[in-house]
Structures are given as C-alpha cells and as structure tokens.
Amino acid sequence: MAEQDIKYKFSSGFLWGTATSAHQIEGGNENNWTKWEKKGQIKDGSVSGRACNSYELYKEDIRLCKELNNNAYRFSLEWSRIEPEQGKFDKEALKHYQKVVECCRKNNIEPLVTLYHWTQPLWFAKLGGWLHKRSPLFFRNYAEAVAKQLGREVTFWCTINEPMIYSYNSYLKGKWPPQKKSYWQWKKALDNLIKAHKLSYFTLHSHNSKCKVSVAKNNQFFEPYVDSIFNKAVVKLITHYWNYYFLNKIKNELDYIGLNYYFHNLIYASLKGHVLMNENKIANDLGWEIYPKGIYEVLIGLKKYNLPIYILENGLADAKDEKRADFIKSHLRYIYQAIKDGTDVRGYCHWSLLDNFEWSEGYEPKFGLYRVNPKTFERTVRPSAKVYAEIAKNNGF
C-alpha cells in the first residue's frame, strides 16, 4: 500500500497483536475449570480437552503471529501447571513458558504475559479460591516464582484478566466455577483480587524495575435509553462501578491500562431495576451487539488516568468470517479518533489468534483469525487475517 493511501496511520512502535489464554488454547490442563466442565456444564456439551494443543504447538502459533506481521502476542500462564501443589513449583512448566517468551523475542514479538486468566490450581480452589483470606498471598507466591524465571525477559505483565467479569460470573451470578451467588462473596472475591494485584505488582517490579504491570479491564459503553434524570443517574452509577471501581482501587499500582472492549449496553432503568434495550442492528454469532463507537467512548473515559493504554482484547465470534475484517477496521477507526482526541493508545490485540475453548459456551463460537481443526489441530487462515496482516504491515490502512 502506498504511503499516501494510508488514511489511518498509527504511531511508529504501535503494538499489533492477538490475544489468547492458556486454558482456552493449551489443552491437557487440570484445574478447577476442567473439573467443572466434566460435570456437563458447557453449553455445547464439550470439555476443553486438548483445546488447540498449543502447549505443544506454541512455535506454530508464534509463526502465525509472524504471518500476521504482528509485533506483539498476549498469552497467559497456567497457574495449575506452574504450581500444581501449593508451594511446589514445576521447573519444567516454568521452563516451557520461558521458551515461549524466548520464541516471541526471537521473532521480534513483544510478549504480553497474563498471570491469571481465570483458572485455578485444584489446591487453590479447594481452599476456597478467592474467598480465602490469604488468597492474595498465595497469588503473590506464584507471581514470585514466575518473576524469578521470567522477570528479566518480560516487560509487559497483566496480573488479572477482567476482574469484574470474572468475579461477577463466578461469585455473584453463579454462572462460572465456583458458581456462588452472593453479593458479599462477590465483594470479598473482588477485594482479594485487588490485593492480589497490588502484591504481585510489587513482586514483579522487585525483579525488574522497568517492567510495566496492569490488568486487562473489561470496560463497557453504557448509555441511557431515555433522557430522564433517573435513567442518566443509573447509567452513571453503573459506569462508575463497572468501569472505574477496580481501576481506582489499584491506580497507584498501574503502569498502563489494559483494556478489553466487547460491549455496548443501552440501559432502561426504572424502580423495578434495569433492562437492556440494545438495537442489535449488527451482532456477532453469540448475539453480542457490534458497536465500534463504544471503543471510542470507553477510551475517552480512561483519559483521566493519564496512562498509556494497550487494548488487550477486542474481537467477535464470526464462524463465516463475514464481519471480522470490517469489525477490525471500524474499531480501529474509532481508536484512531480517540488517539487524535488525546488518549495515549499504544497497541491493539485482537481476540483471538485461534478458534478456542470459550468458557461456558465450548467450541461453538469461532473467535479466531485462524480456524483450528479439532482433530488434527491444523490451523487454517481466515480471509480477515490477511486484512489484519496488511494493517499491521502498513501500521495503518
């Protein structure tokens, strides 16, 4: 593409990547989620099983990142592999992740490493998971073992993926393991996640003072359905709690903001509660509305923190790959606009590199730029991946 044809040009050094998580792609894990899956909890009846076999095929995955002309890859470490028994750290597992990081580096790909993407070692779950008083300390010990092995080689850390989504579904809504449905347990889990982030922040920094630590925060664009003072006040409250509560609590232990954007919610609030009134003009295969302008709004909302922002997830389930290329471009246009309007966005990771195991939905939703054959694990490129590769190559479009 000729330089003059690029309308949306991103700054040099902008990170272009994709995101995955250990449990969703590695295969062969044994943690609280696999235990739960076996109880027939997954919508399509599947279990994560061998997933994409990425624990073995990580080099192939990184080759695909290269094929996408990407210079970043976000992945997570599986706590249950690294610390299968409390206080006993598996050297082989740690070495494995070191090899993944080295492979990224060899390919000029910045590894963005997540410590906790929702799955727990069995011993941790048995002790009560995030409801245990000492859970933040347990997490810190894990972070310490990881930092000892990888601390010098990793710059970007994400301690916890989507603490609000995760704690809400696992401790309030009763949807994900451990399927609790209690406001007080939710608060407790959330408090412990906050403490876990803070403790591991200092641990990671003590091994590499130059590292950059954050969380991946799922922020949503909430809008009032009607223009009443009441409806607007409710939306303000929800926005405050959902988008900023966690970040405000950890704002002194944040080097950048990791943002995951998926949702726009048009809220109609009454004294009976609130309901969603989304128009859903365009939706993904899971029925989630596609609303690119929302990414602009949430980015502008993050300006007040005065920190660099990396988008750590944004994507859609689209088995036919009919909407993905437009989805990427339309979101990037709004990201570009948010940069023009003063937000310091420095990277974009698309969810996901591969079709993978979706938490309670199973293998039905297809989020990948690459399709994965569940028997042979062969990866095949979707057309939208080529569009994304062009964008990354030209640093714009």
- Give whichever of 162 and 344 is closer to ligand FCB, judged by the CB atom: 162
Catalytic position from the list 153, 313, 322, 358: 313
Instruction: State phi, psi for 186 to the nearest 5 degrees.
Output: -60, -50
Q: Which alpha helices (DSSP H) does 15-87 contain, by range?
A: 22-25, 32-37, 54-67, 79-82
- Give whichever of 350 and 379 is closer to ligand FCB, judged by the CB atom: 350
Q: What is the DSSP string of 362-381?
A: BTSS---SEEE-TTT--EEE
- Give whichever of 24 and 185 is closer to ligand FCB, judged by the CB atom: 24
- Taken in order 60, 64, 66, 70, is the CA torsion positive or negative? negative
- Give whichever of 205 and 355 is closer to ligand FCB, judged by the CB atom: 355
Q: How far is the CB of 76 from ligand FCB (least distance, A)?
A: 9
Tokens of 121: 């070692």
Nearest residue to 97 via CA among 34, 138, 55: 55
Binding site for ligand FCB (CB under 6 A): 21, 24, 161-162, 165, 218, 260, 313, 351, 358-359, 367
Does the annotation mark 313 as catalytic? yes
Q: How far is the CB of 22 from ligand FCB (least distance, A)?
A: 10
Q: How far is the CB of 220 from ligand FCB (least distance, A)?
A: 11
- Give whichever of 116 and 397 is closer to ligand FCB, judged by the CB atom: 116
How far from 26 is each of 22, 53, 95, 384, CA to CA, in Å? 5, 5, 15, 24
Neighbouring C-alpha atoms within 13 Å toward the C-beta of 239: 19
- Give whichever of 21 and 53 is closer to ligand FCB, judged by the CB atom: 21
Q: How far is the CB of 133 from ligand FCB (least distance, A)?
A: 27
Q: Is 116 in a helix, a strand, or coil?
A: strand
Neighbouring C-alpha atoms within 13 Å toward the C-beta of 204: 27
Question: E strand or H helix at 329, and its extent?
Answer: helix 324-340
Q: Which residues pair with 274 in a beta bridge?
A: 269
Query: What is the distance between the alpha carbons of residues 353 and 382, in angstroms, rounded to a whole number?
Result: 11
Q: How far is the CB of 109 from ligand FCB (least distance, A)?
A: 20
Query: What is the distance between the alpha carbons of residues 268 and 379, in angstroms, rounded to a whole number?
Result: 43
* Residue for token pair 């949430």: 298
Q: How far is the CB of 162 from ligand FCB (least distance, A)?
A: 5
User: Catalytic amino acids?
Assistant: 313
